[in-house]
Amino acid sequence: MKNNFSKISFLNSVARTIQGLGAASQLVIDTCACILKYQINWKNTIIQMVEVGYMSFPIVILTSFFTGMVLALQVGSATANLFNEPVYIGMITGYSLVKELGPVLTSVVITGRIGAAITAEIGTMKVTEQIDALYTLGTNPIKYLAVPRFIACIFMVPLLVAISNIIGIYGGLIVSSLTWDIPSTRYINDILNVMTVRTFFHGFIKSFFFAGIIVSVACHKGFQCSGGAEGVGKATTRSVMISIILILISDYFLTYLLNILTIF
C-alpha cells in the first residue's frame, strides 16, 4: 500500500509540474502575442520600469560594490600567498563580474525584490477577485498586468546588470589601491587586456534570459494564486525559490552554449 501511495503521489507531482509548465508557457505566449500586436499600456509600463529599474538601483549598487571589493580582497590574498605579490586582481575581478557574478547576483537580487512584488501584487488581485472584475469590464488581464511587467523586466534587468558590472569593478579598484597598493592604471589595464566585446555580451545576453525567467515565474504564480492571504504568501515564496533555482540552472547551460558559440 505504501509503495502504491508513493507512486500515486509522485505521479500527481509530475502531473502538477507539467500542468504548471504548460500554464506558464501559455502565459508567455499570450504576453508575447499582445506585445507583437502592440497592445501595450504605456502608462503602466513606464510605472513598472521605474519600479524595476530606478527603485532597484540602490540595492543593486550596494550588492555589486561590495562583491567587487570582496573579489579584489580574496584574489589579492590568494595571489600574494602564491606569488608573494598580489597580481591579476583587475583581470580576475573584472572577468568574474562581467561574465558570471554580475548577471547572476543582480538577477537574484531582482528576484527577491521585483519577482516577489509581482507575485504578491497579482496574487492579491487574484484572491480578491479583482482579476475577475477586469474580465467583467472587458479588460484583458494579460495586457493590463503581465505585458507592462514583461517589458519592464526585459529592458531594465540588462541595464542594471551593465551598471552593476561597472560598480563592482570600481569597488575592486578601491580595494586594490588602498589594500594592495596597486596603481589604478595597472588595475584598469589588467581588465582591458582580457575584456573584449564578446566577454561583455557573454554576461549581457544571460541577463535577458534571467529577466524572462523572473517575470514569467512571478506572473504565473500570481495568476495561479489561491487560498487567500496564506496562498499569496506561499505563492510569493515559491516564486522566489523557483526563479533562483532556474536562474542558477540556466546559467550553466547558457554558459556552455555561449562558450561553444564563441569557439566558432
How many whole angstroms separate alpha carbon 120 and alpha carbon 225?
A: 9
Q: Show the domain range for 185.
A: 26-263
At 46-77, the pLDDT tens digits run 999 999 999 999 999 999 999 999 999 999 99
C-alpha cell at 221: 504564480
Contact criterion met (CB below 8 Å) for 217 and 115: yes
Residue 14 inside a domain? The answer is no
Query: Residue 238: what pLDDT?
Result: 93
Residue 12 inside a domain? The answer is no
Residue 70 inside a domain? The answer is yes
Residue 19 inside a domain? The answer is no
pTM: 0.91
Residue 236 inside a domain? The answer is yes
Task: Please state the rounded mean pLDDT for residues 120-128.
Answer: 92
Q: Which carries the bigger pLDDT value, residue 84 or residue 210?
A: 210
Query: Residue 1: what pLDDT?
Result: 53
Query: Residue 8: what pLDDT?
Result: 64
pLDDT band at 235 (very low <50, low <70, confident <90, very high): very high
Residue 21 inside a domain? The answer is no
- State the total domains in the chain: 1
Residue with cell 510569493: 236
Query: Residue 136: what pLDDT?
Result: 83
Residue 185 inside a domain? The answer is yes
At 157-174, the pLDDT tens digits run 999 999 999 999 999 999
Task: Please state the rounded mean pLDDT for residues 89-102.
Answer: 91
How many whole angstroms separate alpha carbon 109 and alpha carbon 60?
A: 7
Question: Has residue 264 got a pLDDT over 80?
Answer: no
Residue 159 inside a domain? The answer is yes
How many whole angstroms separate alpha carbon 64 and alpha carbon 32?
A: 31
What mean pLDDT, rounded, does the chain reach?
Answer: 89
Task: Please state the rounded mean pLDDT for residues 26-43.
Answer: 88
Give Rg (Cα) of the chain: 22
Q: 166: burial class by Cβ within 10 Å (0-12, 13-18, 19+)?
A: middle
Helix (H) / strand (E) element for 177: namely helix 147-178
Query: Residue 226: what pLDDT?
Result: 85
